Chains A and B, each alone.
Chain A
Amino acid sequence: MNALFIMIPVISFGFNIIMQVLTFKSIHSLPLLKSIYSGFITGLIVLFVCHICFSNRFIQSGGYLLANFIIYSLLGYCYFNFVCLGETARRIRILRELLDAGEGLSYDELLKRYNAKDIVEVRIKRLLTNGQIVLKDGRYFIGKPVVLGMAKAVGLLKWILLGNAKRV
């Protein structure tokens, strides 16, 4: 193996980002999540092609391929989180409001631009659209349990690392 092997997942990740941005910008009906998938698959193809091209014993470099696949997948996961943070994170939104404001914002001015009502409205709409909760007779019920499963997994990790500390 030479140093170029180490760059393969990074190069593939570059293709991942380029394809994700291009597909999202050019296909207007494409949801952001699907563009992330298309970028990831493109990068994966590049990863395998690079391994075939730069290894004259492709089968025998299985260990390096696996390592590079793991590295690439983790880079893809980090990118997914980066995109999600920009889409949903409160602190990111607050920072963006301050960036756009230039002259600074008081607490009340900040709340006029971004507040709990906005936060809750967007999330409930998303949860309803994805069927994670359903609304019946003015009451919410659990629909599909996917996000509930995530909440429990995160709760468990939180309990392991932080005890029962609650911070919203």
Chain B
Amino acid sequence: MSVILFGFGLFIFYFVTHYLIWKIHIPRRQVQVLLMLFPVLMILGFLAFQLFLKGYEGDGSLFSLLFVEYLQGCLLFTVLFAAYIVTYPAIEIDSPSLVIITHVSDKGPTGLDKELLEKSLTDELLVKPRIEDLVTEKMIFIGQDGKYRLTAKGRWFILPFSFYRNLIGAGKGG
């Protein structure tokens, strides 16, 4: 149980810090900042836990951890963080499916006209902002000929997805 408490405790510390920073200012490259916070807050959280242990006067058996248990707790924190990071884009950016569902739901019992829905979801709304995000995230750049190209970061990022999709024989998705 100590391991679980330690791992979740680190994650709660991470989430609260992230929430407070976001209340002051939401960074332009949100996922980048979340990634940068991870190692910093893991170390700070660990140190805070050690300080707590020093000052704690009660029965410390719940909080005493072997080195290997600290490692397991850190692994738990890492996968909690990874799960949060892979979920975050869905919070940051509205998925088209959820937008469609919300539009339909908003119309209630009268329903939403099929053509109206399809006309309202344009390239300007669905594609262009995502291209701009990729430029902001430095995954792609615009060459002198005005064409978009992958940066090294973008290439390394997309390779696992491309490899996996080719491995299972699936199409390009999207």
**CB nearest to A124 among chain B residues:** B100
Mask of A124-155 contacts with B, CB within 8 angstroms, 1/0: 10110000110110111110000110110011
Q: How far is the CB of B19 from chain A (nearest CB, A)?
A: 7
Mask of A67-103 contacts with B, CB within 8 angstroms, 1/0: 1101100110110011101111111111111110001
Q: How far is the CB of B34 from chain A (nearest CB, A)?
A: 11
A70 proximity list for chain B (CB < 8 A): 4, 7, 76
The reply to whether the CB of B97 lies closer than 8 angstroms to some CB of chain A is yes
Q: CB distance B148 to A93 under 8 Å?
A: no
- Size band of the interface chain A makes with B: 35 or more
Q: CB distance B173 to A136 under 8 Å?
A: no
B123 proximity list for chain A (CB < 8 A): 111, 115-116
B126 proximity list for chain A (CB < 8 A): 90, 116, 119-120, 168
**CB nearest to A145 among chain B residues:** B105
- Per DSSP, are chain A's interface residues mostly helix, strand or loop, or mixed? helix
A106 proximity list for chain B (CB < 8 A): 146-148
Q: CB distance B71 to A3 under 8 Å?
A: yes
Q: How far is the CB of B62 from chain A (nearest CB, A)?
A: 11
Q: CB distance A32 to B170 under 8 Å?
A: yes
- Per DSSP, are chain B's interface residues mostly helix, strand or loop, or mixed? helix
Complexed CA–CA distance, A97 and B147 (Å) = 13
Q: CB distance B173 to A67 under 8 Å?
A: no
Q: CB distance A142 to B68 under 8 Å?
A: no
Instruction: Known contacts A105-B148, A119-B121; decide if A21 and B72 are in contact (CB<8 Å).
Output: no
Instruction: Known contacts A71-B79, A104-B143; decide if A140 and B111 are in contact (CB<8 Å).
Output: yes
Q: CB distance B26 to A162 under 8 Å?
A: yes
The reply to whether the CB of B40 lies closer than 8 angstroms to some CB of chain A is no
**CB nearest to A111 among chain B residues:** B123
Q: Give which listed residue, A3, A64, A91, A147, contacts B101 with CB less than 8 A.
A: A147
**CB nearest to B143 among chain A residues:** A104
Q: How far is the CB of B112 from chain A (nearest CB, A)?
A: 5
* Shortest 10 CB-CB contacts between residues of A and residues of B: A93-B174, A104-B147, A139-B111, A81-B86, A74-B79, A95-B158, A151-B98, A104-B149, A116-B126, A67-B3
Residues of B within 8 A of A (CB): 1-4, 7, 19, 22, 26, 66, 68-69, 71-73, 75-76, 79-80, 82-83, 86-87, 89-102, 104-105, 109-115, 117-118, 121-123, 125-131, 133-134, 139-140, 143, 145-150, 154-155, 157-162, 164-165, 167-170, 172-174
With A161-B22, A168-B99 given, name 19 new contacts (CB 8 A): A1-B66, A5-B72, A70-B7, A78-B79, A86-B161, A90-B174, A92-B161, A95-B134, A95-B158, A98-B150, A116-B126, A119-B96, A120-B126, A124-B118, A139-B111, A140-B114, A151-B102, A155-B102, A167-B129
